[in-house]
Amino acid sequence: MTMPREIEIIGGGLAGLSLGLALRRAGVTVTVYEAGHYPRHRVCGEFITGLDGVTIGRLGLAPLLADAGQLYEVGWYFQEREIRQQRLPVPALALSRHTLDARLAAAFTAAGGQLHPGTRIDPAEAPEGRVFSTGRRRATASPWLGLKLHTRGLRLTSELEFHLGDEAYVGLCPVEDGRVNVCGLFRQRADVSGNRETVLPAYLRATGLDALAARLAEVEICAESCSAVAGVNFDRSGISDGRLNLGDTFAMIPPFTGNGMAMAFQSAELALDPLLAWTRGEAAWAGTVQVTHAALGRKFARRLAVADAAHPFLSSPPRQRWLAAAARVRMLPLQLLYGLLH
């Protein structure tokens, strides 16, 4: 009897670890290589919207998400005034990446997977059986900067807060242990600087979010959580590069959607059956890559297109004013947009 082929996964984030876990449960030998270490903080909104029960079940995520916060209300703010309260059709699941990544890593190794943190693999090497889930692409220059920190003692005015600033937007989400995650996307500014704990408040002040910066000044900032990522881009040019790409490596959705974490898990679930067929010798590798990417394209094309079209309205001040005016008079179809984006 022919031995099943082995899988290597480059990148131990949500897509890589959840795929590895599902493959191990199917009896496949899996090795995951991750450049970082666990637990770790990541620039992330840390709430999940649009994650379906089929994906949760097939990847075995239910025990890992059982204690995630369930949030139904989003408060939208422009120039620090509330413009709309939105009721989500299904709750957003709130859990920090610090906790979730560590749980996935532990579950993967407990299932017999081989995990090698602190290990970098040359991305130019793409043999058969190697899957890439290394996160955002770095090939295209981008002016966008992602910043994140956790606070203690910060009182929220809605279950989730979403603030529009001058070429910026910022989300506030409660996570475990009484913390609130503050995460934003900002256009980089040469006149703004600071250390790990002060750079995000400095960007808030520079983008007209002074009241939010003042709120942060009154509470504890958890220094170890402060994170930054430069060159955030939403380029799709590398999707068809011949490698099998998942998660943000396949396509990164603008973060205002809250759908990036769900897309990572969904991409792992869509790759599962084609990869299992390859490990059994039932498919060629080139066909496995093609079939997987075609499935990802069908699943994500609409939401990516809508998100790309909507993103300028959340980051450009003139368009933000139009958006705020439409929201105030309830001409903004938030429920329709939610459906299109998820």
Whole-number pLDDT of residue 142:
83
Task: Report how many domains make up the chain.
Answer: 1
CATH of the domain at 51: 3.50.50.60
> Per-residue pLDDT tens for 296-310?
999 999 999 999 999
Whole-number pLDDT of residue 342:
82
Burial class (CB in 10 A: 0-12, 13-18, 19+), 257: buried
Asked if residue 32 belongs to a domain, the reply is: yes
Q: To 10 degrees, what angle do helices 14-25 and 260-279 make?
A: 40
> Per-residue pLDDT tens for 279-334?
999 999 999 999 999 999 999 999 999 999 999 888 888 898 988 888 888 888 88
What percent of the chain is predicted at pLDDT more than 70? Answer: 96
- As a whole number of angstroms, the distance between CA 273 and CA 258 comes to 26
Asked if residue 1 belongs to a domain, the reply is: no
> Per-residue pLDDT tens for 259-281?
999 999 999 999 999 999 999 99
Say what the pTM is. Answer: 0.94
Q: Which of the four pLDDT bands, split at 50, 70 and 90, describes residue 124?
A: confident
Asked if residue 150 belongs to a domain, the reply is: no
- As a whole number of angstroms, the distance between CA 144 and CA 138 comes to 12
Segment 207-212 mean pLDDT? 96
Asked if residue 105 belongs to a domain, the reply is: yes
Q: Measured in Å, how far apart are the chain's first and last C-alpha atoms?
A: 43
- As a whole number of angstroms, the distance between CA 145 and CA 141 comes to 11
Q: Are 66 and 193 in contact (CB under 8 A)?
A: no
Lowest mean pLDDT among 31-35, 111-115, 322-326: 322-326
Residue 39 structure tokens: 């637990």
> Per-residue pLDDT tens for 131-152?
999 887 655 678 899 999 999 9
Segment 168-173 mean pLDDT? 97
Asked if residue 205 belongs to a domain, the reply is: no
> Per-residue pLDDT tens for 222-253?
999 999 998 887 766 556 678 999 999 999 99
Average pLDDT for the chain: 93
Asked if residue 280 belongs to a domain, the reply is: yes
Q: Are 245 and 293 in contact (CB under 8 A)?
A: yes
Burial class (CB in 10 A: 0-12, 13-18, 19+), 317: middle
Asked if residue 14 belongs to a domain, the reply is: yes
- Residue 19's domain comprises 7-67+95-140+234-313
Asked if residue 19 belongs to a domain, the reply is: yes
